[in-house]
Amino acid sequence: MLKLGVNIDHVATLREARYRGRSHGEPDPVEAARMCETAGAHGITAHLREDRRHILDRDVWALREAVKTRLNLEMANVPEIVEIALKLKPDIVCLVPERRTEVTTEGGLDVVSNERALTETRKRMNDAGIEVSLFITPTPTQIEAASYVGTQFIELHTGAYAEHFADRELREEELDRLIAAAKQAHGLGIKVNAGHGLNYENLPALHRVPHLVELNIGHSIISRAVFTGLGDAVKDMLRLMEGYSA
């Protein structure tokens, strides 16, 4: 069964738009996580950024207490956040590139150039009982480097697929890249997740990509929730995922 991890960062983004710098505010990302789980989500994802632009330290600690499924902490491979993760002990961390000027994560990790540093962090996380995923573009060299790091998962960056979805030719090219990447990673013994830019329109075609374990989706679900409510938005996405065969 293909699993759904719901990213709740944008719930915190909305809260910080009015309550930044305060010890309270709405909407509450922890309550959002509870609602997603009640609706059937298999996991909750939150990105603790260095600049704390949305998810805050207090959020991740509250999430660790509240989440009953699987807590995925997205994070940059920087000392401060690594130490927080080792204390927090999420079920899994997803190491991502991070730039202060970006609105959302714009690309995959350069695993090839950062293999040593990523391997060190992977070992520290695994020693603490935390699984590790690397957020990467679907290219053979990056996937091969991920295998050298020893990561348990990769998360394939689906941003280019989502961006070109309306162009049939480019969409097929991006799907072929994702299919090849998933097959390569699976052959190397790496579990495969995917995410970025996935929505209710482009998700069904992703069923063609084999070996997927989990999709991490945030913005589209939170956007639909404005009109339908969060529980129904999660259920609608889960229905689109039914029937997936790895």
Residue 196 falls in the annotated catalytic set: yes
Containing domain of residue 147, as a range? 72-241
Any domain includes 153: yes
**Is residue 246, in this structure, part of any structural domain at all?**
no
What's the gap between Cα 234 and its chain centre?
Answer: 15
In a domain, 188, yes or no: yes
Residues 10, 37, 42, 47: which is the catalytic one?
A: 47
Assess whether 211 carries a catalytic annotation: no
74 assigned to active site: yes
Q: Are 173 and 129 in contact (CB under 8 A)?
A: no
Quote the number of domains for the chain: 1
76 falls within a domain: yes
How does residue 9 score in pLDDT terms, banded at 50, 70 and 90?
very high
For residue 3, being part of any structural domain is answered with no
In a domain, 212, yes or no: yes
Higher pLDDT, 98 or 76: 76
Instruction: Please check whether residue 92 lies inside any domain of the structure.
Output: yes
Average of per-residue pLDDT values in the chain = 96
Q: What is the predicted pLDDT for the residue at 100?
A: 54
Give residue 106's pLDDT.
61
pLDDT in tens, 30-61: 999 999 999 999 999 999 999 999 999 999 99
Question: Residue 212 is part of a domain; what is its CATH number?
Answer: 3.20.20.70
Most distant CA pair in the chain, distance: 49
Say yes or no to pLDDT of 87 above 80. Answer: yes
**Per residue in 132-167, pLDDT tens?**
999 999 999 999 999 999 999 999 999 999 999 999
User: For 215, which DSSP code?
Assistant: E
pLDDT-derived band of residue 104, with 50, 70 and 90 as boundaries?
low
Set 37, 74, 174, 214: catalytic member: 74
Active-site hit among 42, 155, 196, 214: 196
